Structure 1
Amino acid sequence: MPAPCQLDASDGDLRIRTDVTGPAARMGHHLTILVATWHASVGWDGDEPVAVELTADVDSLQIERGDGGVTPLSGPERALARTNALKTLSAQRYPTVTFTSDRMTPAGGGYHLAGELEIHGHHRAHSLDVAVTDKGDGWRLEARSAVRQTDFGVRPYSMFMGSMKVVDTVTIEFSATVRR
């Protein structure tokens, strides 16, 4: 049986994409947030992956870009957005986000993962599909999943007395390359 496959940020990217809503939404930026520090372990049974655990370091969040808004996202606004994200996620109290799955089933050129997602100290069932592309010398893994913040006790960031706020559902995007 192969040893567990270890992945981290040197193998790929983990991003969070946000949107804004409310009467003043056009003033806000649609953020792309990079999770700079994460690691994952994939367990195998023979030639088949059977389990995965991914842990993301909340304090490693970096505001990669901000689209929309009245003006381009400035350096100070980028820093403020990061600070607000860390406060919203209570990063000091809940320093990691984890996803674990021991139910992986083949599905349409990849795998369907069913497991548990922990954010902000709250555990919820979560499932997602991972596309796997054979690249000859390895595999390309890609996944995209929607997560509703309030399901995990996270109150989406808002300002101007709620007239501009982050949409409750954020999109998580993962991509990595695994070498043979």
Structure 2
Amino acid sequence: MSTVWRFGDSDGTLQVLTGVDGVAARMGHRLTITIKTWHAEVSWDGDQPSAFTLRADVNSLAIDDGEGGVTPLSAPERVLARSNALKTLGANRFPEIRFDANTVEPTEAGFRLTGTLQIHGRRRDHCLDVAVTDSGDFWELSTSSAVRQSDFGIKPFSMMMGSLRVADTVTVTFTATRPKDS
């Protein structure tokens, strides 16, 4: 029997955690960026997942937090950081980030998803280890993955002639819950 589990932004979070680099890195903020609009599907063959898809709306990103820096991240700086992120990602030309996994293998903690990640119009093979936890009435899914922006043709945002820049490698985190009775 084939089944599909559907998840959306009301079921969990999709975030990008940035770092800072360069000789002036101490001046920059490490950002927590939340993608507010996304949806995912897990296809099942019997009692085993067989495929996973995720679609994220780049234009829905929001700057939720900024750690470090000389001063706390202000509201105007959040607006500027969001604008810079949208330009860097080319959101007008590439409004969607996609991950399609056609190979799903069981692991000790959950499943390994192997497929294609598409960002900024470029596709790369990508592998994710998703932890699945039994939380009584819910299943909890979580993963964290490093993504190098330059692998997708993205030049990380920089300022002050490159002495302060977003680190090339960002961390993408995903968490979701699903009631067992659905």
Q: TM-score range by the shorter chain?
A: over 0.9
Which residue number corresponds to residue 178 of structure 1? 178
Counterpart AA for 1:100: D
User: 1:108, CA displacement in angstroms?
Assistant: 1.6
CA distance in 2, matches of 1:87, 1:108: 40
Give SS of 2:90's match.
coil
Q: Which aligned segments of 4 or more residues in structure 1 are displaced greater than 6 angstroms?
A: none
Provide the TM-score with structure 1 as the length reference.
0.98
Structure 2 unmatched ranges of 5 or more: none
2:136 aligned partner, one-letter code: G
**Correspondence 1:41-80 to 2 at 5 A:** 41-80=41-80
Looking at structure 2, the residues matched to 109 and 69 of structure 1 have their Cα atoms a distance apart, in angstroms, of 36
Post-superposition offset of 1:136: 2.4
Contact map agreement 2:36 2:61 (CA 8 A) in 1: yes
Within the alignment, does 1:127 sit opposite 2:131 as a pair? no
1:153 maps to 153
Is 1:106 the counterpart of 2:141 in the alignment? no
SS in 2 for 1:59: helix
1:121 corresponds to which letter in structure 2?
G
**Contact 2:3/2:45 (8 A) holds in 1:** no
Separation in structure 1 between the aligned mates of residue 8 and residue 82 of structure 2, nearest angstrom: 22
State the partner residue of 2:84. 84
Q: Which residue of 2 aligns with 1:14?
A: 14
Question: In structure 2, how many angstroms separate the alpha carbons of the residues matched to 1:2 and 1:132?
Answer: 20
Gaps of 5+ in 1: none
**Paired positions, count:** 180
Partner amino acid for 1:127? Answer: C
Within 2, Cα distance between the matches of 1:150 and 1:50?
A: 30
RMSD between aligned residues: 0.7
* TM-score, normalised via structure 2 length: 0.97
